[in-house]
A and B are shown apart, each in its own frame.
Chain A
């Protein structure tokens, strides 16, 4: 199932791929936060609208799942992007991605960004700078 364009997805970003200024203040994401690992076929995200409740509660529920299913360091953060905007930005950069709902046993909100090219640094930068525009720090949830 394709996620609706008006919905949102959340991606976990470890400390090493957060963009920081020279004072070590977190100011965004590095493009590498959205880079596929060699063994990955798609980029893992959580579908926020899978959860009921207001935006705050959805964010909390999604973070709870991340914390239960992987290592989530105190200094890590989460990026939130609008599905339609992600698709538009990828399309404009020559990558017509699909964002699909792919629930997993321990993560019913799991979704995937498919057809994301490897090694396209401009596209990754566009995702980091203009698609995942909201940053939520783990310590704030």
Chain B
């Protein structure tokens, strides 16, 4: 079972590889400076003196730090620039998608408890975690999320669902009670499709449907909605 904290990927907290490298370079530069600070030389002299002198005067660790600093200062190759650019574009796409659905949520804030809204935002951040992202997937679609919000306002579940995303960016909500599972996919144009698996005397049975969000509660009525949605 995962008990890791949910990672947040807002633009203010997420760092690109390039930014990480820059920070590393700064950190190493500072470490190098600190390593030399105790010597009688001034900062400019230290940073400007030839490496032959370094080799003679300083420890292996210090020379290693210097070598790494120099490596980081080498200009990046075109290929790595392309990679960084592509990653930055993806990061922006994920950020934009997350922001757009959060704005949508804010428009119906009066229907959601603050605690749930905060949790929902954390779930959305987690779904768009750059480190976990599948290259060919689509970020969450605004039209799918709008359908999800309508469904939540309609069925008012006391139990919050786990969330997922389809390849195409449709939001998926999952309620699980023991081995029994209800999964709803929210699509554009107020459409939903759902499937549930129940176990009776060790035998599994599956039920599925596709309907409009306004008829979702009706579609689920024969399957004891309280069983899934009540605390």
Contact = CB atoms under 8 A, between A and B. Distances in A.
Interface of A: 14-22, 24-28, 30-32, 35, 37, 71, 73-76, 93, 121-122, 124-126, 129-130, 137
A25 B3 contact: yes
Contacts of A25: 1-3
Interface in B163-177: 163-167, 172, 174, 176
A72 B167 CA distance: 16
Contact of B133 (A22, A73, A124): A73
A20 B2 CA distance: 9
Contact of A31 (B133, B195, B207): B195
A130 B207 CA distance: 14
A96 to B, nearest CB: 18
Given A15-B129, A19-B162, A32-B166, A126 B134 contact: no
Contacts of A121: 183, 185, 193-195, 208
Contacts of A26: 1-2
B162 A22 contact: yes
Contacts, number: 108
Interface in B15-33: none
Interface in B194-226: 194-197, 204, 206-208
Given A21-B176, A32-B166, A27 B1 contact: yes
Interface string B95-137: 0000000000000000000000000000100110101111111
B181 interface: yes
B63 interface: no
A22 to B, nearest CB: 4
B6 interface: yes
A125 B197 contact: yes
A30 B183 contact: yes
Given A19-B176, A26-B2, A125 B195 contact: yes
B159 interface: yes
9 contacts: A24-B123, A30-B183, A31-B183, A32-B185, A75-B4, A76-B132, A121-B208, A125-B183, A130-B204
Given A16-B137, A16-B164, A126-B204, 15 more contacts: A15-B129, A20-B174, A21-B176, A24-B126, A25-B1, A25-B3, A30-B183, A37-B136, A75-B129, A75-B132, A121-B185, A121-B194, A121-B195, A122-B208, A129-B204
A1 B208 CA distance: 34
